[in-house]
Structures are given as structure tokens and as C-alpha cells.
Amino acid sequence: MASRPAHSIWGRKIVEYDLLFDCVHCGLCLEACPTYAISRAEMDSPRGRIYLMKALAEGRLDLDSDAVRHLDACLGCRGCETACPSGVHYGRLIEDTRSYIEGNYRRETPDLLRRGLISAIFPYPARLRILISPLRLIERAGLRPLLNRMMPRSIRSWLELLPPLASTQTSASISSPAPSSSAQTVVVHHGCVAQVLARSEIANAEALLARAGYRVIHLDRTICCGALDLHSGNRARALDFARANVRALAASGANAIVSTASGCSTAIAEYGMLLKDDDHELSEKARLVASRVTDLSNLLLKRLPMPRSFSCTVTYHDACHLAHGLGVRDAPRELLRSIPGLKLVEMVDADMCCGSAGSYNLTEPEMANALARRKADSTIATRADYVVLANPGCEFQIASELRRRGSNIRVMHLADFLAMAIRTSDE
């Protein structure tokens, strides 16, 4: 048998060439892809994007605005990985492709500015706090609606995504017993945007874990997990963030690592792969840290003392990386079902992306809004009182669309919802 060329002889090193051949072009991913669901055109499907990557790698296609547009349009939700029978590592392919695009393609100025702004602010909580502090004042004065109206459309859509800032100040709403000395230890990774805009989620997650008998270790500094950078092609900084996190998390000695943002927990769960070429000590630590990542729901299931009763109808939205990255689907649902009086109703396509996808809703607003509308449609159709989910980005995105429609359905993070149910039942 003749040997085959190990890599593309035309030499555009865009991704690991052999990985492209995991895709057998069967098309089973199409219907699982949110962007294909909206556009119904195959350039916006995983199979189509892989085809573009291959054509780029083989030099059969120029890296022009057409190709970049369709690769940019990918949410990175990895719904296709769940659907794929051939085990294509789509997440790696799209991350590497984006890294290549950022290094080799000249974007238009407005696009560059937008991306630069996100990259300069979001990973740094202190900067984000400063940026939104005037907004807090405006909100307290009741002037946010006015501000929104005054802004040009591009900025207005960003503002509308922000949750009411008063809600982001909440601390834990339930008390917890002191842990026993033999308790398993857990770290809740605070991340970046979440520790500014989703503080109650983090505080409640820690309180719930304590209530379930874990000893919660508070880390002074956990920083951005690097997912934002990985997904937007800034690999070098992502690696720096990852290394810092690995050192801090390994030093904490925690048995389990969770994040209230499932995009972050998935990123940390892949540190082993990400840092595999670092020096032995760090790559080993990265592997160890990665292996300890789990989800809050897994830790709470069967251990959290549940409220006596909480009567309501709930629908559950699968955050992409929780379902497709960590494969966590049943535990959050089981937790919800174990609350007496609670009725769980499934929505159509619960595991299809809501369009939030990290900073996607800020860079690709049109597609993001179309997906938010779709998600709101399926949420409203359930007639639920609450839509519960486990990622702040989805929370802001879905809440923003439901607000726009004047819907009464409340959007809550699982941690906030459980804390509320317990508090209400205890009262």
C-alpha cells in the first residue's frame, strides 16, 4: 500500500491536517448546528466549515472575507461534537482555525475595534467594574431605559444584554453549616465576567456546596480561564491565563473544581490538552487540574438537603459547553425533579445554543439575536414559570430577549434557583 502524504503539501498550516480527515462528510451534524438551523445553508454548518478549513489547508481557497465570514459565524457551541459519529475534534479545529485567521487575515477596522475592546476589558474584572460603574449610577437614578434609547444601535444591543446591575450585587441567600474536617474540598472558579456580573451565582454555589457538606476553598485570585481568547484566536494569552490558573488551582489542593460558567469549566477541563507541550511539571499539574473539573450539579445531586416543597413549572436550558463539552445533562434535571411540587417541562431543542456563546452575541449580533428569538420561542411554548440554566452568558442572553417580549418567565442560574427554593421553603 502506498504511503500517504502526512500533511498538506501546499503547506497552509491552519490546523492539524490529519484531524480534518476524521470528518467523513456524512452530514449528521447539520441539524445539530444552530447557525445551520437559522441560515439553512451548508457553509454555516460544521461539515461545511470543515470543508472550508480543508480547502484552505490545501491551498484551494483564499483566506478571503467569504471564508472568514462563515468561520466567524461558528458559535463554538460544539453541538456538532455530540452529533458526530466519527469523533471529529471540532472544538480544536475551530480554535486553531481562528488562531490562524487572527494571525493571517486583516479585519475591517470596526470589527478590529470591537474585538479589541472585548479582549482588553472582559478578561479583567477590575476594568469591567470601572466600565460599568457609571451604569450603576444611571440605573439607580432609573435612567437606564433612557440611556438605551439614546445610544446608537450597535451599543444599545450591548447594553440591553446587561442584566439589571442591582441584581449582580446579591450575596448568598442561604446559610450553611460548618463543614466537618473530613469533608471533600471544592473550589469554585470565579473567572472574569462572572465575578462582576454574576456574583450571586458564585456566592450561592459556594453556599449550596457548603450546605451539601463540602468544604469550600476560597481562592484569592482566580482569573479568566482563557476560553474567551481560545475562541477568538488569541492562543498565546489563553495559554498564559491557563498556566496561572493551573498553578493556583493545583496549589489549592481541592478535590473538585467547578465554575458557575460552564464555558469556563469546560476550558479548565481541557487544560491537560492545552498545556501538554509545556514543561513536565506544569503539564502534569494541568492534567491533574483538568481531571478534577466537574459540575456543580454533579456535586449537589443526592447530597444537597432539598427544600420541602416549591411549587412551580420549570424548563431547563442546556448550556452548550455543559452539555456538549462536559456531557452534563441529567444531573441538573434530576436535581430539579427532586424538589417536591416542581414540574419540569422539556423545551424543544433544549441543547441548542441561545446565541450567547462567550462574546459571540457582541461580535455576531444578527445570528445571535435570531438564536435568542428561537430559544425564547421554545421557552415560552413550555408555559414555564422559570427557565433554569447553568451559565451566566445564557442567562443574560435569554433574559434580554424575554424582557424585550415582556414575558414573565424568570431566567435563573441553577445555583440561584436552588438557593431561592431552599430559602422560600425554609421561611
Specify the residue, 47 or 285, whose C-beta has the smaller distance to other proteins: 47
Which residue of 70, 115, 231, 235 would you call a contact of other proteins, by CB under 8 A?
A: 70
- Rounded to the nearest whole angstrom, what is the least distance from the CB of residue 339 to other proteins in the complex? 23
User: Starting at the edge strand that comes first in sequence, how are the strands of the sheet with 386-389 ordered?
Assistant: 342-344, 312-316, 386-389, 410-413
Sheet with 215-217, strands from edge to edge, namely 215-217, 185-189, 256-259
Indicate left, alpha or beta for 386 from its phi (over 0: left) and psi (-120 to 50: alpha): beta
**In whole angstroms, what is the distance from residue 78 CA to residue 227 CA?**
13
- Residue number, 33 or 362, with CB nearest to other proteins: 33
Burial class (CB in 10 A: 0-12, 13-18, 19+), 255: middle
CA distances from 202 to 51, 100, 183, 254, 320 (A): 40, 35, 20, 17, 19
Q: Return the closest-CA partner of residue 30 out of 41, 21, 19.
A: 41
Which range, of 63-71, 90-98, 225-233, 293-301, touches other proteins by CB under 8 A?
A: 63-71
Site for other proteins contains 40 (CB under 8 A): yes
- Which of 42, 102, 240, 334 touches other proteins (CB under 8 A)? 42
- Interaction residues for other proteins, span 314-353 (CB under 8 A): 348
Are the CB atoms for 427 and 401 separated by under 8 Å? no
Task: Give the nearer residue to other proteins in terms of CB position, either 18 or 426.
Answer: 18
* Contact call for residue 366 and other proteins (CB under 8 A): no
Which CB atom, from 67 or from 257, has the smaller least distance to other proteins?
Answer: 67
Query: Binding other proteins by CB under 8 A: which of 59, 86, 159, 346?
Result: 86
State which of residues 10, 13, 41, 113 lies at the interface with other proteins (CB under 8 A).
41
Minimum distance between the CB of residue 352 and other proteins, rounded to whole angstroms? 13
Does 57 help bind other proteins (rule: CB under 8 A)? Answer: no
The grid coordinates listed for 239 are: 495559554
Residue ranges in 380-409 that form contacts with other proteins under rule CB under 8 A: none
β strands within 218-261, DSSP E: 256-259
Query: Least distance (Å) from other proteins to the CB of residue 398?
Result: 22
The cell numbers describing 178, all together, are 460548618
Q: Which is nearer to other proteins, 27 or 341 (CB)?
A: 27
Does residue number 77 form part of the binding site for other proteins (CB under 8 A)?
no
Q: Report CA 360 to chain centroid distance, whole Å.
A: 10
The answer to whether residue 51 forms part of the interface with other proteins (CB under 8 A) is yes
Of 89 and 211, CB closest to other proteins: 89
Give 46 or 76: the residue with its C-beta nearer to other proteins. 46
Binding segment (CB under 8 A) for other proteins, from list 83-91, 247-255, 311-319, 331-339? 83-91
Instruction: Give the span between the Cα atoms of 398 and 13, in whole angstroms.
Output: 38
DSSP 17: G
Stretch that binds other proteins, among 44-52, 165-173, 222-230, 409-417 (CB under 8 A): 44-52
3-class SS of residue 143? coil
Among 53, 83, 290, 384, binds other proteins (CB under 8 A): 83
What is the bridge-based pairing of β-strands 185-189 and 410-413?
Answer: unpaired
Q: CA dihedral in degrees (353, 354, 360, 362; nearest 10)?
A: 180
Touching other proteins, residues 96-135 (CB under 8 A)? none
- By CB under 8 A, the count of residues binding other proteins is 38
Q: From its phi and psi, is residue 76 left (phi > 0), alpha (psi between -120 and 50) or beta?
A: left
| DSSP classification of residue 152 | -
Nearer to other proteins, 15 or 23 (CB): 23
Which residues touch 150 (CB under 8 Å, ≥6 apart)? none
CA 277/CA 177 separation, integer angstroms: 43
Cell 490529519, residue located: 18
By C-beta, is 25 or 106 nearer to other proteins?
25
Q: Which of 11, 59, 64, 146 binds other proteins (CB under 8 A)?
A: 64
**C-beta separation of 26 from 86 below 8 A:** yes
Q: Which is nearer to other proteins, 79 or 125 (CB)?
A: 79
Q: How far is the CB of 245 from other proteins (least distance, A)?
A: 30
Nearer to other proteins, 88 or 414 (CB): 88
Interface residues for other proteins in 8-37 (CB under 8 A)?
21-32
Q: Which three cell numbers stand for residue 125?
A: 474584572
Binding site for other proteins (CB under 8 A): 1-2, 4-5, 21-32, 40-43, 47-48, 51-52, 55, 60-62, 64, 66-67, 70, 83-87, 348
